[in-house]
Amino acid sequence: MNEKGTSNFKNVRKQNYEAKKMNNPRKPNKKDGNLLPWWVELLFVQIGLPDKILISILKAKKDSKELIKKDKKLLIAFLFFIATLAYFYPVIKHSKNKLNCEAIATKYIIKNKNISKISKRELKMLSTNFCYGGEEIYEIEDLKN
């Protein structure tokens, strides 16, 4: 009798579990069609862009996820390289502008001041001074007069 009681109890318990499972489904298998991302809703439903564009966007998204999974180290190295270039770009640009200014100032000094006794070092010094707002060129002119 004891064996019948335990097997009967197991059957009742199994039936209760199945009944609860039938009454409370966790997630429906079908996805609700109204849950589109906001950008899909805006661009393709409201505005009416062609579906080919959506297909290409979703394909590119899938391919980019696969690429990121495969080549994570290479992408990090590439981003580090780009960040380094972006960090040093202002320094490089300033140096280029400084060299251009010095070349133009050197030509200006040679052309307008007619100074023949100045060495190349002094000429470079004067052109650098002129580019940074110095007024030594005007003092040279005053000494000549």
Predicted structure pTM score: 0.46
Q: What is the reported pLDDT for 80?
A: 97
pLDDT at residue 78 above 70? yes
Q: How far apart are CA 66 and CA 61, in angstroms?
A: 9
pLDDT band at 109 (very low <50, low <70, confident <90, very high): confident
Pair 59, 51: CB distance under 8 Å: no
Which pLDDT value is given to residue 25?
A: 55
Query: In this predicted model, what pLDDT tens digit does every residue of 13-45 receive, in sequence order?
Result: 766 666 666 666 555 555 555 677 888 888 888
**Rounded mean pLDDT of the chain?**
80
Residue type, 107: K
